Structure 1
Amino acid sequence: MAALAVAGVASAQSSVTLFGVVDAAVSGYSTKSNLYYTNPFAVPFTVPGSLKRSQTALSNSGYNSSRIGFRGTEDLGGGLAASFWLEAPITNDDGKGGISNFARRSTVSLSGGFGEIRLGRDYTATFWNDTVFDPFGTNGVGSSAIFRTNVNLAATHGGTPNGAAGSDSYVRTSNAIAYFLPPNLGGFYGQFQYALHENVKTDELNGSPSKKGRYIGGRFGYANGPLDVAAAYGIDTKDSLTDLTVAGKDRLKTFNLGASYDFGPVKLFGELSQVKDAYNLSSTVTLGGFPYLLTQGVSNKYNGALIGATIPVGPGLIRASYSQVKYKPDSAIVPFNFYNNGSSRASQFAVGYVHNLSKRTALYATLSRISIKDGQNNPGVMGITTGGSPAYGTLTGYTYAPKSATGYDFGIRHAF
C-alpha cells in the first residue's frame, strides 16, 4: 500500500503527452511570368510573351502543420518544474517523412516564479508575430506575402545555419538559449533568445570564424481580453565568409509589430514588418584606365503590411487577409541597376473557410492569389509563389519577370 501511494504521488507530479496533427489536402498551384523587354526589337516573334506552369498535388499542412510530438512536465516542488518538448514534422501525404528528427521543436526547460529558461531548437522571436497575427497562421496557400518573402530571403542568404535540420533561422533556430517572462504579469509577456553559431575559432591567419547561424532576438507584448499586441526584433547572421573578409558580412535585421482584437462577430488582425538586408557591396570600377575596388555597406529593405479577419459562422470560420511586401533597394544599388527604382512589390489576397466537425476534426478550403509588380528587379526573392513545385517559367537568353501566382487547398485536419 505504501509503494502504491508513492507511485501515485510520482504520477501526479510527472506527465508525458503524445500529441500530433494529420492534415491532408488536394492542392493546386500555378504561376505566370511575362517576358521583360529590355530591347523589344531583339526578341524574335517566336518567343512567347508569357509562360505558365501548374501543378496538382495531394499536399499536407494546409490548415495546421502535420506533426507528431512528445512533451512532458515534472513538478519539482516549490513552484519549480522541468519540462521537455520533442516535435517532429511528418509528410502523411506520401508517408515518407516520419520521426527521423525533431526539427520542429527540440527543447528542455526549467520554469518557476522567475519565468522559463528554455534550451534547444525552437521558433525565433521574430517569427511569432508573423504566424500569430496572420488569420491563416502561415499554413497552406493562404500564408502571407510577408511570410513567403522572409522564407525566400533566408534561403537566398545561405539556407540552413549551423546545426539546423530541415529549416532555417527565419522560422526556427537551433542551439538557442531563451528566457520567457512569467505568465503572471497582468497580461504582459515576452522572451529573449540567443542562438550560438558554434563555428570553430582558431589562431590561424584570418581564423576569426564566421558567425553564420547566430540569431539574437526578442519579443514583448500585451494580451488582455480581446486585445493582443506584440513587437519583435531580431538579427539573423548569414555570413558566407569570415568576418575578416569584409565582403562576407551579411545580416538580416527584422522588426515587426502585430495586433489582433476580437469584437465577437469578427476578429481583426494587422501587422507591419520590415526586413533590412544589410551587407557589404564590393565592386570594381575603372577610372582613368585604372581599376579600383569599391566596398560599401548597403541596406536593402523589405517593407510588409497585413490586414485580415476571421468571422465565426455557426460551427465554421471564414478567414481572409490582404498582405503586401515592397522592395526598397539601397541608394547604392540603383547606379548599378538603373532600372531598379524601388517599385518592385508583391501583393496577396487570400480567403478561406474552416468547418469544424468536432473539436479535433475540421474540413477547410482556401484560395489565394499573388500579384507581382516589376518582379525582374529582384529575381528569386520577390518571385514568391503560393506553394508547391512550379517556379516561374523562363527561357535561356531571355528575362521573364514573375507576374502572378494562384493556389487552392481543399482538405481535412485531424488533431490528437
Structure 2
Amino acid sequence: AQSSLTVFGVVDAGISRYSTKSSAYGPAALFGPRTMRQSQTVLSPSGNASSRIGFRGTEDLGGGLAASFWLEAPLNNDTGGGIANFGRRSTLSLSGPFGELRLGRDYTASFWNDAVFDPFSVNGVGTNLIAVVNSNLAASRALATGGLLNGGLSAGTDSYLRTSNALSYFLPAGLAGFYGQMQYALAENVKVEGASAPAQTGRRGRYAGARAGWSNGAADVALAYGESTVADTSLGKERIKTVNLGASYDFGWAKLFGELSRVKDERDQPLRARIGDRYDGALLGFTVPVGPGQVRVSYARVKFDNASAAPDADARTDKLALGYVHNLSKRTALYASVARIHIANGRNNPTVMGVTPLVLSLPAIFPQPSYATTGGMQPRSALGYDFGIRHAF
C-alpha cells in the first residue's frame, strides 16, 4: 500500500494450568462439603506476550512533521481466531517538535505504570496483581451500571487498560529525560434535556488521565492519575479514580521494580453522603539476566477497604510469582512461570451479579476457572503455571 507500511506481531503458545481452593464459611461450614477445588488445563495464547498482529506506517510531511497510523488486533492462535477488530490499538497521529497528538483507541495514561514496572509485563500467571484487580473491578462495575463501555471490544475495555474515543498528547523527546502524557476520552452519549436522563447518558464512558515521568540511564520513575466515569444519571454518579507511582533501577546484574497504587470506587447519590471502596496495592520485583535468559520474580499485595462499617468487612490478597525466559534468538524464546495467591476474607467484597470483583480478579490472573462465590464458599488460594514458546515478527 505504501513504502512505509510495517507488518508486525507476536505469536505465543503455551500450556497453562490453573487451580483454586475455596472453603465454607458461616452456617454452610456446618453442613455438606467444607472445601471446593477447581482446576483447568488450557492451551493459552499469551503466557509471555500477548498474541497480536498489527500494521503501522509513517509519512514524512517535511519541516519535522510526520503523520502516522497504528492498527493492532488481538490473535487467538490457540483456536485460529483471526482479526475481529483492532481493539488493542487503533490510532492516527500527527507528530513534530511540539510532541505527538494521537487520536483513537489506546492504552490509558493510568495503566502504563502497572505494565512498565511489572517484571512479567502484565502477561501470563505472573501478571501484576494490581493490574488484574483494577481491570476486573472496572469491568464488574461497568456491567453493573449499564453494560461494558467502549463497545465491549477485546480485552482492556472499560477505561482501565485501554479506552476508546481518546485524544492524547505526548511530550516530545529530548527534555532531559522527562516524559509525559495527557489524555481525554469522549463519552459520546446523547444529551437529554427536559426529562430524566436514561441510564447511559451524561458522562458515562468518559475518561481523563495524565502521566509524568523521568528516565535517565538506569533509573525510571513515573506518576499517573486516571478517572473513569462508569455511571452518571439522575440517580447518582460513580467514578473509579486511580493514582499510582512506579519506579525501576537497572543495576546491570539485576533490575529492580516497584509500584504503589490506590484505586477508589466512589459513588454519589442524591441526599446521601459520598461512599467509596478502596483498593491499595503494592508490588516489588526484579529481573536477573542469566546467560541468554532472564529470571523474573515479583511479590504483590492488594488490600480492599470496604466502605461498610461492618466488622471484618475488608479483604486482602498476596501473590508471589517466579519465572524464567530463555531466548533462543532475538525474536524467539521459551518461558516458564508459576504463581501462587493467598486470599484473606475473600467473601467480603461488594457483590455484583453474584460475582465479587476482587475475588474474581484473583484467579483471573489465571483466566479460568472463575470462583463460585455463592453457597457459603469463599476462595482461599490459587496456583497457576505457564510454559511455552513465543515468537515476535
User: 1:387 & 1:281 partners in 2: Cα distance?
Assistant: 35
SS in 2 for 1:156: helix
SS in 2 for 1:150: helix
Q: What letter matches 2:357 in structure 1? A: V
**Contact 2:239 / 2:267 at 8 angstroms: preserved in 1?**
yes
User: 2:152 & 2:70 partners in 1: Cα distance?
Assistant: 17
Q: Specify the alignment match of 2:183 in structure 1.
A: 193
* C-alpha distance 388-162 of structure 1, shift in aligned 2 (>3 A): closer
User: 2:167 & 2:136 partners in 1: Cα distance?
Assistant: 26
**Contact 1:29 / 1:55 at 8 angstroms: preserved in 2?**
yes
Q: What letter matches 2:303 in structure 1? A: K
User: 1:142 & 1:281 partners in 2: Cα distance?
Assistant: 38
Q: Specify the alignment match of 2:170 in structure 1.
A: 180
Measured against aligned partners, the alpha-carbon deviations of 1:151-201 in whole angstroms (never above 9, x if no partner) come to 110111114313451231110000000000001101000000000010001
**Contact 1:82 / 1:110 at 8 angstroms: preserved in 2?**
yes
Measured against aligned partners, the alpha-carbon deviations of 1:56-112 in whole angstroms (never above 9, x if no partner) come to 0101111010000000000000000000000000000110x2111100000000000
User: 2:65 & 2:287 partners in 1: Cα distance?
Assistant: 38
Q: Specify the alignment match of 2:202 in structure 1.
A: 210
Q: Specify the alignment match of 2:280 in structure 1.
A: 303
Instruction: Please tell me whether residue 382 in structure 1 is matched to residue 367 in structure 2.
Output: no
Q: Specify the alignment match of 2:8 in structure 1.
A: 19
Q: What letter matches 2:133 in structure 1? A: T
Q: Specify the alignment match of 1:288 in structure 2.
A: none
TM-score, structure 2 length as denominator? 0.92
Q: Specify the alignment match of 2:248 in structure 1.
A: 260
Post-superposition offset of 1:39:
7.4
Q: Specify the alignment match of 1:232 in structure 2.
A: 224
Instruction: Please tell me whether residue 220 in structure 1 is matched to residue 197 in structure 2.
Output: no
Post-superposition offset of 1:234:
0.5
2:140 is aligned, of 137, 145, 156, to 156
User: Which residues of structure 2 form unaligned runs of 5+?
Assistant: none
Alpha-carbon RMSD: 1.7
SS in 1 for 2:4: strand
Point out the structure with max Rg over C-alpha: 1
**Contact 1:129 / 1:257 at 8 angstroms: preserved in 2?**
yes
1:30 is aligned, of 15, 19, 28, to 19
TM-score, structure 1 length as denominator? 0.87
**Contact 1:164 / 1:174 at 8 angstroms: preserved in 2?**
no
> May I ask how many residue pairs the two structures share in their alignment?
377
SS in 2 for 1:273: strand
Q: What letter matches 1:263 in structure 2? A: F
User: 2:274 & 2:110 partners in 1: Cα distance?
Assistant: 24
User: 2:206 & 2:326 partners in 1: Cα distance?
Assistant: 41
User: 1:250 & 1:84 partners in 2: Cα distance?
Assistant: 34
SS in 1 for 2:26: coil
Measured against aligned partners, the alpha-carbon deviations of 1:245-293 in whole angstroms (never above 9, x if no partner) come to 22xx1000000000000000000000000001100368xxxxxxxxxxx
Measured against aligned partners, the alpha-carbon deviations of 1:212-260 in whole angstroms (never above 9, x if no partner) come to 1110000000000000000000001100x52x222xx100000000000
User: 1:207 & 1:238 partners in 2: Cα distance?
Assistant: 15
User: Which residues of structure 1 form unaligned runs of 5+?
Assistant: 1-9, 283-293
**Contact 2:11 / 2:390 at 8 angstroms: preserved in 1?**
yes
Q: What letter matches 2:10 in structure 1? A: V
Q: What letter matches 1:365 in structure 2? A: A
User: 2:44 & 2:151 partners in 1: Cα distance?
Assistant: 27
Q: What letter matches 2:209 in structure 1? A: G
Q: What letter matches 1:200 in structure 2? A: V
User: 1:389 & 1:213 partners in 2: Cα distance?
Assistant: 27
User: 2:140 & 2:347 partners in 1: Cα distance?
Assistant: 16
* C-alpha distance 392-203 of structure 1, shift in aligned 2 (>3 A): closer
User: 1:210 & 1:107 partners in 2: Cα distance?
Assistant: 25
User: 1:408 & 1:210 partners in 2: Cα distance?
Assistant: 43
Q: What letter matches 1:126 in structure 2? A: S
**Contact 1:25 / 1:410 at 8 angstroms: preserved in 2?**
yes
